[in-house]
Structure 1
Amino acid sequence: MFYTILIILAIIIAIYLGEKFDINTGLVALAFAYLIGCFVLGMSVKELLATFPTKLFLVIFTLTLFFNFAVVNGTLEKIAHLLLYRFQKHTKWLPLILYFITALVSGMGAGFFTSVAIMGAIAITLCKSSGMNKLQASFAVSLGSLSGANFMYSAHGVLFNSLLSKTAVADQANVLTRDIFVVSLIYPIFVMLILMLLDRKNSQIAELNIKKPEVFSKKQKINISLITLLMVIVLGVPMLANFMPGNETIKFINSRTDITLLAVVFAIAAYLLKLAEDKPKEVLARVPWSTLWLVSGVGMLIDVAVEAGTIDLLASLINNMPSFIVPIAVTIIAGIMSIFSSTLGVVAPLMFPMIAGIVGPTGYSASLIAVAIIIGAQSTALAPFSTGGSLILGNSGLGEEESKKFYNDLLYKATFLGLGFAIVATLILMFIF
């Protein structure tokens, strides 16, 4: 129990120091992992260093490096504008259209942070010109960015798979990652429809007048081709292996097809083709180094927590609740944690190892608990001091009074609405999974 309290205090203090003194929380967590692991639990330095999440580090680095070319040369932003241009006559469905476009941009490689920044600015501009509700637009951008990023072969999806592969449910990692994506893609559609229905009396979206974007440049077309080719290889090779299990050549290629390493090859190709035009250094600069250290440092501290038995203890505490509220409790705990910390850096690494401990005594499926963790954690992404909310607020371009009102809407309306929707979704999923 002492070790558990010490680990939990370390996580809380790491988050507090990170926010208070603007230090990367992962670096603080790394320091605590060293002090607690080596001097309290008696781990050797070699054992501690072995907990560094090398695969996770490479996943985030290589994928963002490759997809940053499409951000730097404007390919993804032009795709978003083109799709909005195509659908501008359907303003009645604008919030839902905005959701799908954001999900596509995010799933094509922009990931959560970039797509929120790009689409958030576009969405608020559309709100000003069309009268669309800013809260609906914010939900569309946030949920769309998350659902796209949760695609099995996009940033979050690959990271979730990597994290799950280190737990006691490693054999189900692919299935759980798929289920997280499917649910996080479908349930926001109902959220958007409900929000649009509730606001139908006030919603008077005017006709849009979006100019036709310029045609894609030669390099942008090549960039789209590279992204498409990467997705075809990653998705197609395993499918071929399933259809032709006896073909040794395909079996050999499939066993060595890895999106993390393929992304490096494609990134080098993009460099050689000069797809970043005159800004090649920006591609590397845009790699989310702070996220990398956040995920790595906290990941090491979580491994120390596993060594100390903290994860099993926390799972048993959840299991002491009445069985029927366990999935709801998981959703709420993940949602509250995510208001003050990162889903990727803190919530998923901390709670994924608990899945096996919760599933055994309760009889719930691993998919239900994994999905509850993620939709709970991502439901509060619009809190203004969370990443999604802060990015949308920061790119809103609103005046002081409007910005203050929007801040309150994000904090007191969007945050609680998001968590409420996640709870309802979890209740429904309890009858499905």
Structure 2
Amino acid sequence: MNLGAVSLILLLAAIVIGFWRKANVGILCIGFSMILMIAYGLDSKEVIAGFSSSLFIQMVGITYLFSIINGNGTLELLAKKMVALVGKKRHLIPFVMYALGFIICAVGPGAIPSLAIVPVIAIPVAISAGVNPIMTAVIGDLGVMSGRMSPLTPESAVVRELMEAQGMKGNTIPIMIGMIITALVVAALVYVYYKGWKVDENVSVSEEKLAKFNTRQWLSLAGLLVLAIGALFFSWNVGLTGFLVGTVLVVLGDAQEKKAIAGIPWNVILMVMGVGILMNIISISGGIDIMVAGLEKVMGPHTAAMIMAIAAGIMSFFSSGLGVVFPTLIPTASGLASGLGVSAVQLVTVIVIGGTVSGFTPISTTGALIMAGVAQQENADERFPQNRLFIELFAVSFIALGVLAIFALLGIYGLYV
């Protein structure tokens, strides 16, 4: 059988096995790449060429720095100070969490750690303020998703590399704009559903005086500023800058190196790198052309963006957007665009948004963390029944995917690219 077809089958097998056995899809892809190398007599250098060293440096460097900053309490204190800004206007807390989620994600760490951190902050804050914690956590995570394609994040580096490999300009700002538009509409719908303007007046708000940032935390904030200025204005590599700033903070006693290294999401990085190795084989063997030909049969110029958005969202229900959906579907964008006469950037935009906003299901990490956080609260079984919460989180994912599909069909994402 043709190598391209076999490699596509093995990619699908890796996704299915990874979901079924809770195994790392990237590691499975590396193993399957070895099988293809032996079976088809491929050169090991060709196989290893799929490992992107530049992407590896960017992902490890930035998550290393974020691990340091998160470990010394800087982000937690920053969150509390932002919430305190609303004063007695407690109904605005969900939107403060949206802004917080956006900032935490966009300054460098990306969505993977931020989606885990924001619910941990949002749920207890919402409970203590008499605001619905489910709504607050969902809107906070929508803020995280809005910042995912900031030029400083590891996810942005992945998408840029995938776009540039097809001869496209690696600019993720248009994608971020599309993500913000989609997330804000979904956030508004969630706010209306939960009647976010209604606050439990029986809950008394503590007038606790917040501590000031200590020297270590000021140094951490300064480090983030250096990263942002260097990357945005001087085109510094965000990974190398992350290593540099992180090293300076460690030398100054701002963090423990072992804990910082342990905090790097190695499983996600291995997933991205491993899928990249198999996708390289798929690319050089003509597998991408097979995928494009298959998609062209069910797409037209007016439905291409919508179908691609739905496909990305459905794939994301069962696999990682960053590790699987993006590297699988984005390489098809350029070929589909030229064949159907649509914008390649628009297709990449809906792939990224679809692979992101559908992540609220309870079977995803984001949804599971929200469920776990709510379940830890007092009288959670009575106030927030798990069965109802399970259905609501699935509903949020489908609503978000529905908003994306409608916007894609109407050509909203093509208006500014």
**Same fold per superposition (TM over 0.5):** yes
Q: CA offsets, 1:11-48, max 9 Å, x none?
A: 232123223333322111111112124413x3211211
Mapping of residues 202-217 of structure 1, within 5 Å: 203-204=198-199, 206=201, 208-209=205-206, 211-217=208-214
CA contact (8 A) 1:33 1:300 kept: yes
Is 1:394 equivalent to 2:372 in the alignment?
A: yes
Q: 2:250 maps to which residue?
A: 271
Distance 1:181 1:221 in 2: 28
Q: 1:146 maps to which residue?
A: 145
Q: Which amino acid aligns with 2:16?
A: Y
Number of matched residues? 407
Distance 1:234 1:187 in 2: 26
Do the aligned partners of residues 212 and 37 (structure 1) sit closer, same or farther apart at CA in structure 2, a change above 3 Å counting? farther
Could you tell me which runs of 5 or more consecutive residues in structure 2 were left unpaired when the two chains were aligned. none
Could you tell me which runs of 5 or more consecutive residues in structure 1 were left unpaired when the two chains were aligned. 239-256
CA drift at 1:419: 0.8
Mapping of residues 107-118 of structure 1, within 5 Å: 107-118=106-117
Is 1:306 equivalent to 2:283 in the alignment?
A: yes
Local SS of the residue matching 2:108: helix
Q: 1:248 maps to which residue?
A: none
Q: 1:169 maps to which residue?
A: 167
Q: 1:367 maps to which residue?
A: 345
Do the aligned partners of residues 4 and 383 (structure 1) sit closer, same or farther apart at CA in structure 2, a change above 3 Å counting? farther
Q: 1:200 maps to which residue?
A: 195
Give the counterpart of 1:348 among 305, 323, 326: 326
Instruction: State the superposition RMSD in angstroms.
Output: 2.2
CA contact (8 A) 1:347 1:377 kept: yes
Distance 1:308 1:21 in 2: 28
CA drift at 1:333: 0.4
Q: CA offsets, 1:244-265, max 9 Å, x none?
A: xxxxxxxxxxxxx322222221
CA drift at 1:274: 1.3
Q: 1:415 maps to which residue?
A: 397
Distance 2:220 2:273 in 1: 30
Do the aligned partners of residues 179 and 222 (structure 1) sit closer, same or farther apart at CA in structure 2, a change above 3 Å counting? same
Q: CA offsets, 1:55-107, max 9 Å, x none?
A: 22111101101121110101011111110111243323332221111111222
Q: 1:322 maps to which residue?
A: 300
Q: 1:182 maps to which residue?
A: 177
CA drift at 1:431: 4.5
CA contact (8 A) 2:15 2:25 kept: yes
Q: Which amino acid aligns with 2:226?
A: L
Q: CA offsets, 1:101-129, max 9 Å, x none?
A: 11112223343232222220222223433
Q: 1:338 maps to which residue?
A: 316
Mapping of residues 35-46 of structure 1, within 5 Å: 35-40=35-40, 42-46=41-45
Is 1:129 equivalent to 2:128 in the alignment?
A: yes
TM-score (norm 2): 0.90
Q: 2:20 maps to which residue?
A: 20
Q: Which amino acid aligns with 1:235?
A: L
Local SS of the residue matching 1:324: coil
Q: CA offsets, 1:193-217, max 9 Å, x none?
A: 2332344388445475463321111
Tell which deviates more after alignment, 10-19 or 214-223.
10-19
Q: 2:266 maps to which residue?
A: 289
Local SS of the residue matching 2:234: helix
Q: Which amino acid aligns with 1:337?
A: M
TM-score (norm 1): 0.87
Distance 2:210 2:158 in 1: 34
Q: 1:76 maps to which residue?
A: 75
Q: 1:244 maps to which residue?
A: none
Do the aligned partners of residues 74 and 342 (structure 1) sit closer, same or farther apart at CA in structure 2, a change above 3 Å counting? same
CA contact (8 A) 2:91 2:196 kept: no
CA contact (8 A) 1:393 1:406 kept: yes
Q: Which amino acid aligns with 2:252?
A: L
Give the counterpart of 2:358 among 363, 376, 380: 380
Distance 2:353 2:200 in 1: 29
Tell which deviates more after alignment, 319-328 or 125-134.
125-134
CA contact (8 A) 1:76 1:110 kept: no
